[in-house]
Structure 1
């Protein structure tokens, strides 16, 4: 009886050792997989945050055009204000012409 109990204990200890080994291997694989996923995630975030050089140069060109446009508007703003009072009168007359045309078309 003592030998059968000893055999069972030995057998159980071996089974436990194999199970622990298998679990340890799985844990190592999972840790490696987690590290790979974290690295991939960091790379994707870095790629999303990075602005390509082409886009930066395009945006700088747009910014320069906006500055030039503002400068031109600032330079021409005082001269165009003199022409502003005439424009509403023209707009009013255009509206009247449209109404006349509509009334002619309806009749």
Structure 2
């Protein structure tokens, strides 16, 4: 009962102050969240650019790996042919 009397006798200025204070807190929270969102969007954009850059670098790397694979196959073929020729020559 004492709580209800205190609530009933609150001055309108006090209620207005609380509403204003809550609105300011909400505004600060929204500002902080907006700032974080902008930072996350910037990080995402940077990561996308990095990914695009890596994707552009892959074809020369793949071509180089293909050349190495061909060289390895050629070496294997030479190693297989050499013993056969030696055996045929003997």
* Structure with larger Rg: 1
Task: Find the partner of 1:76 among 61, 74, 82.
Answer: 82
Task: Find the partner of 1:58 among 51, 64, 76.
Answer: 64
In structure 1, the gaps of 5 or more residues are 83-107
- Normalising by structure 1, report the TM-score: 0.55
| Count of aligned pairs | 81
Partner of 1:35: 41
Partner of 2:31: 25
- Normalising by structure 2, report the TM-score: 0.62
Shift of 1:41: 3.9
1:11 aligns with 2:21: no
In structure 2, the gaps of 5 or more residues are 1-9
CA RMSD of aligned residues (A): 3.1
